[in-house]
Amino acid sequence: MRCRLIDYSLGNLAANMSLEEALFEAVVSGASEPVFRFWSNGPAVALGISQRVGDMVYPERCREDGIPLVRRFSGGGTVYHADGNLNFTLALPNAKCGMRNADFQVRLGIKASYDLICGTLADALASLGLEAGMGQISDVMVNGRKVSGNAQARRRGALLHHGTVLIDMDTLPVERYLKIPAGVHYTNHLDFVTTLRREGYSGGEEGLKQAILACFAERFKLDFHEDEPDRTELERSSVLLEERYSKPEWNERR
């Protein structure tokens, strides 16, 4: 199955999230083939669509340090973004859009789709010599500590899954900006979160990308071709940025 490989980042999390939604809309409508995207941005905090700011972050610290808060259109938990954090996105259409390899696609339940996609990421990390496996439903672990958090959105039978991979990001700000969520089994972010570099990975970002692509191509039967967002997608992204992701009414609405 042909899949657009879009290695394309914008300057900040709000703009990147706007582009995520614009690309997903194109996949949902059938205007785009499936999309696999790599992207990154500078320091920011990303909230899940239903999360309450006061429950998940220290907003006064974020304001003091100039750290933007951006609410995703996907579920999942709150994560900190910064240099050294690689993000990946997989957007798959509904079978009605002409997708032939439908065994793995959106008909899977939420847990099954997380298991499949996060499991594929764990396999990619294992191919680099790391002791990788699954944690909670949306977490990928190395040596028992979290290196990847993931989230999903679904529309009209289509699926968007995006996640983080901490390569060599400074994790100290996680403790400063993010609260400990209720009901988790840990009491300190720095005891729970790690990076690939800390766990022994000495390769660079490009080597990680190639390992991820190889595993996803095999598991999902994807035929990648390099691409960029088209003019329509970029224009839609700009509209979403102006109307939603740049506005406190959206980002701090809960």
- 206 CB burial (10 A radius; 0-12, 13-18, 19+): exposed
Cα separation, 69 vs 53, whole angstroms: 9
Can you tell me the distance from the alpha carbon of 209 to that of 163, in angstroms, rounded to the nearest whole number? 13
- Domain of 148? 2-251
- Can you give the pLDDT at residue 181? 82
Average pLDDT value for residue range 111-121:
94
pLDDT digits (tens, 9 = 90+) for 193-226: 999 999 999 999 999 999 999 999 999 999 999 9
pLDDT digits (tens, 9 = 90+) for 93-111: 975 444 444 444 446 788 9
- Maximum distance among all alpha carbons in the chain? 50
> In 3-state terms, what secondary structure has residue 239?
helix
Residue 243's CATH number: 3.30.930.10
Q: pLDDT digit string (tens) for 65-79?
A: 999 999 999 999 999
Tally of domains within the chain: 1
The pLDDT of residue 156 is 87
